[in-house]
Chain A
Amino acid sequence: MLSFVAQRVVKGVIVLLAIIVLNFFLIRLAPGDPAVVMAGEAGASDQVFVKQLREKFGLDKPLPEQLFIYVKGVVTLDLGFSFRQQAPVAKLIMERLPATLLLTLTAFAISLMLGVLFGTFAARFAGTVLDTAITVFALIFYAMPIFWVALMGILLFSVTMDWLPSFGYDTVGANLTGFAHVVDVARHLVMPAMTLGLFFMATYTRMTRASMLEVKRLDFVKTARAKGLSNAVIQRRHVLRNALLPVVTLAGVHAGTLIGGAVITETVFAWPGIGRLMYDALLQRDYNLLLGVFVTCSVMVLIFNLITDLVYRLVDPRIEFAS
């Protein structure tokens, strides 16, 4: 197992380097650079000003040199400096990481638990009204754009009912501490987490249902039934466990994208996370910050892919750690 992990790490580092190089050039393909953006925002852009900004950002150097400087920095765990935000990139990312992880992990947990639960029920009662209801429910949330669900949620739960706050991480200026602060954050978390979670829940529901129905038709299920095992045991031990493999694959892919995958939710709910940081950095052509977020996301994807591979083996011991 150790050699398997070591091999995957080495491959991961190579992939990461390729991602950095690709993104480095990809970002610069977009028209406009940070100097142009900042000059534009200042409403004054004489040549001296833009030249000054380019020198400040290091954009006056040849591209290969800029890339070398960047990669050298990443190797020493230095993600560079965001001149726009006047702060080291790593600091900016670390400031936002907790909020993003709280939101996405909550959403992930909601979606996975509810998705598998509903999917199991739908498969267990396939063809019944319950199955149809779950399927329709899942499809509705899958089909609705996240921003629309978010806005409708705000309209209903904030504007009309005044149950939940419509934006932010906590109540600004309330200076709450201890349990009161936890409750406050939780109240702010409900809508964004549900909005994000319901979309993914729909995917897991559909995937679990389809996968379970497929497994149910296989011979070993008939054998189990012939052995006289109870239906609950067959469903839980034989069908669900085998049906979970594609769900684990999907969850692995989702988990990897959690860091940067909540851009819309974070924007609508003014959640101070990395998705928004990335979106702003993109609009402002804040190259270092954008690359820093990409690197962080890529590392997360690689880590979760590795974890997924390890979980496979737990779910299905027949899978071996092939090199």
Chain B
Amino acid sequence: MPKRVLLGVLLACGLTASALQPVLAQEPKTGGVINAVIQPEPPGLMLAMIQNGPTQMVSGNIFEGLLRYSPKLEPLPELAESWSVSEDAKTYTFKLRKGVTWHDGKPFTAADVVFSIEMLKQTHARARNNLVQVDKVEAPDDDTVVFTLKQPFGPFLGIFEVGSMPMVPKHLYEGTDWKTNPYNNAPVGTGPFMFKEWQKGSFIRLVKNPNYYEKGKPYIDEIYWQIIPDAAARSVAYETGKVDVLPGGSVENFDVPRLSKLKDTCVTGAGWEFFSPLAWLWLNNRQGPLADKRVRQAIMYAIDRDFAKDVIWNGLGKVATGPSASTIKYYTSDVPKYPYDPAKAKALLKEAGYKGEKIRMLPLAYGETWQRWGEAVKQNLMDVGMNIETIATDVAGGNQKIGDWDYDIAFTYLYQYGDPALGVGRNYVSSAIAKGQVFNNVEGYSNPEIDKLFADGAVATPDSKRKEIYEKAQKILVEDVPVAWMLELQFPTIMRCKVKNLITTGIGVNDGFKDAWLDK
């Protein structure tokens, strides 16, 4: 087995060096500083206003949600210590932890939750969509919040992690202009770490919250998020001991095996279960050869996805079988299969009458790995006789072209958030076709049966009914190939072995460092 494949298998199994150590048996030690890399520099840290990846990663330490999620995506207590669901599945009651305070000392109460929900409906696009079934939110007392839904919403308990629904201090935001509130630049949360300093272009410094409600936590005194824009320089910073943690995606894939072998280095692929990043090729279903299902199926057969996994991604990740990642709810592998079969691809292209029309492909401008993947896919498609023209753009330009439907094939990867109703349906239902937007149904796939299945699946009860609906949807989609699913991505987190318990939930590094400690 090639080494990089072995590495991938080990990571996939969670059998990393750190995981093998008897971490749980050790008593956590307090003190110390963790230097971690953040890339790119976040535009801001107010999680309720800005939701990009780096903001979530840093602010996941400052803010908190009502719940966290285990690697198996089971809800865990955070600011809510318990919850219950009514028999008709329309009323959710959360009991909040007592004694929680904001970083400025004011108490956290149910009124903050109600205010946060109202604010997020206006400032947080994903939260707004997640809350569409919510009829009202009430706070009968300081420690209780009751959500009443218009109708049962299956994934409701899955929408409360910090990035999806961060709690905002009502006393600092109510009645202010949220956009220019001074606390956007000095955020105040309930989390284990408090914002201390941000030297733009250099670092963000967080310090321990001494009044954190979980006694003894956090164990670490300070976190420095170092801003290093060049991927090679980030690798060197780790190699020379200047940083301790490289969160997933911080370095180019080809550096991962080398860095993994460094002394006292531990690697883990864990912590992405909630997000389950899935990579695929948008295929413009509207026009040209790709409007024909047989051509889209030919693309699936033409691409050697195992090669991409083993060579370009160093054995990390898993070949995708359809629209759902295998880590999210209601996934099924019982769908039509598309093994690497160039002969079949050629036959399908011939049957569809493809005559070498030019097909424009947009790779993803996320660095060298993605560029190489673009080249590999182009080669695969040209091998079966397709005439591929690569269009080079930066991220903004690429998004614009995809949103304007001005492409034939385009790379992307999106998070799935644990449930098909939250992170899958949005890419296939016809109500999500809207020109000028990215990350919805930009391929232009329209199938009334799929529309109905996703509409029903979101509100169906019991769980077995949802399972049945989503399995059927997966089978139909895989047969129709509205997009070409590539890989379930895995972004390994590289760290010094002395950093313990960095990742304890399915939200990974984005869930904050409250459990982390240094074995000095």
With known contacts A86-B184, A151-B232, A166-B233, A172–B226 Cβ distance under 8 A: yes
Cβ-neighbour of B399 out of A36, A56, A162, A279 (below 8 A): A36
- How many residue pairs link A and B with beta carbons under 8 A? The number is 167
Would you give the shortest CB distance from A127 to chain B, in whole angstroms? 41
Question: Beta-carbon contacts of B125-158 to A below 8 Å, as 1s and 0s?
Answer: 1101100000000000000000000000000000
Cβ-neighbour of A36 out of B128, B242, B403 (below 8 A): B403
Query: Are the CB atoms of A85 and B44 closer together than 8 Å?
Result: yes
- How many interface residues does A have (CB within 8 Å)? 57
Contacts of B128 in A (CB 8 A): 46, 48-49
Query: Are the CB atoms of B224 and A172 closer together than 8 Å?
Result: yes
Stretch at the interface among B60-68, B430-438, B486-494, B508-516: B430-438
Query: Are the CB atoms of B51 and A30 closer together than 8 Å?
Result: no
Query: Are the CB atoms of B203 and A172 closer together than 8 Å?
Result: yes
Query: Are the CB atoms of B438 and A47 closer together than 8 Å?
Result: no
Contacts of B240 in A (CB 8 A): 158-159, 162, 166
Report if B199 contacts A (CB, 8 A). Answer: yes
Report if A261 contacts B (CB, 8 A). Answer: no
Q: Complex: how many Å from CA A154 to CA B239?
A: 11
Q: Complex: how many Å from CA A45 to CA B395?
A: 15
Report if A32 contacts B (CB, 8 A). Answer: yes
Report if B520 contacts A (CB, 8 A). Answer: no
Contacts of A42 in B (CB 8 A): 50-52, 125-126
Cβ-neighbour of B396 out of A30, A83, A85, A99 (below 8 A): A30
Report if A39 contacts B (CB, 8 A). Answer: yes
Q: Complex: how many Å from CA A49 to CA B426?
A: 15
Cβ-neighbour of B439 out of A40, A83, A151 (below 8 A): A40
Q: Complex: how many Å from CA A52 to CA B397?
A: 20
Contacts of A273 in B (CB 8 A): 201
Report if B401 contacts A (CB, 8 A). Answer: yes
Report if B266 contacts A (CB, 8 A). Answer: no
Query: Are the CB atoms of A267 and B44 closer together than 8 Å?
Result: no
With known contacts A30-B397, A36-B396, A44–B229 Cβ distance under 8 A: no
Q: Complex: how many Å from CA A271 to CA B53?
A: 23
Interface of B is mostly: mixed
Query: Are the CB atoms of A168 and B226 closer together than 8 Å?
Result: yes
Report if A41 contacts B (CB, 8 A). Answer: yes
Report if B10 contacts A (CB, 8 A). Answer: no
- How many interface residues does B have (CB within 8 Å)? 58
Q: Complex: how many Å from CA A16 to CA B200?
A: 28
Cβ-neighbour of A284 out of B125, B396, B415 (below 8 A): B396
Would you give the shortest CB distance from A124 to chain B, in whole angstroms? 40
Question: Beta-carbon contacts of A150-191 to B below 8 Å, as 1s and 0s?
Answer: 010011001100100111110011000000000000000000
Query: Are the CB atoms of B201 and A96 closer together than 8 Å?
Result: yes
- Which residue on chain B has the smallest CB distance to residue A273? B201
Report if B419 contacts A (CB, 8 A). Answer: no
Q: Complex: how many Å from CA A43 to CA B400?
A: 14
- Which residues, 196 to 211 on B, are CB-close (under 8 Å) to A? 199-203, 205
Query: Are the CB atoms of A167 and B237 closer together than 8 Å?
Result: yes
- Which residue on chain A has the smallest CB distance to residue B41? A280
With known contacts A31-B401, A42-B50, A166-B240, A173–B33 Cβ distance under 8 A: yes
Question: Beta-carbon contacts of A266-305 to B below 8 Å, as 1s and 0s?
Answer: 0111111100110110011100000000000000000000
Query: Are the CB atoms of A43 and B126 closer together than 8 Å?
Result: yes
- Which residues, 43 to 75 on A, are CB-close (under 8 Å) to B? 43-50, 52, 56
Would you give the shortest CB distance from A187 to chain B, in whole angstroms? 13
Question: Which 5 residue pairs of A and B lie closest in terms of their CB atoms, listed nearest first?
Answer: A272-B201, A32-B396, A41-B52, A49-B125, A44-B125
Using CB atoms and an 8 Å cutoff, list the residues of chain B in contact with chain A: 33, 35, 40-41, 43-44, 46, 50-53, 122, 125-126, 128-129, 179-180, 184-185, 199-203, 205, 222, 224, 226-230, 232-233, 236-237, 239-240, 242, 393-401, 403, 414-415, 434, 436-440
A-B residue pairs in contact (CB < 8 Å), sample of 30: A31-B396, A31-B397, A36-B396, A37-B399, A40-B438, A40-B439, A45-B438, A46-B128, A47-B434, A56-B179, A86-B184, A151-B232, A159-B236, A159-B240, A165-B242, A167-B237, A167-B242, A168-B226, A172-B202, A172-B224, A173-B222, A267-B229, A270-B226, A270-B228, A270-B230, A272-B199, A272-B227, A277-B201, A280-B229, A283-B396
Q: A84-B43, A86-B43 are in contact. List 8 more A-B contacts (CB 8 A).
A: A32-B394, A48-B128, A162-B240, A166-B236, A167-B233, A271-B201, A272-B199, A272-B200
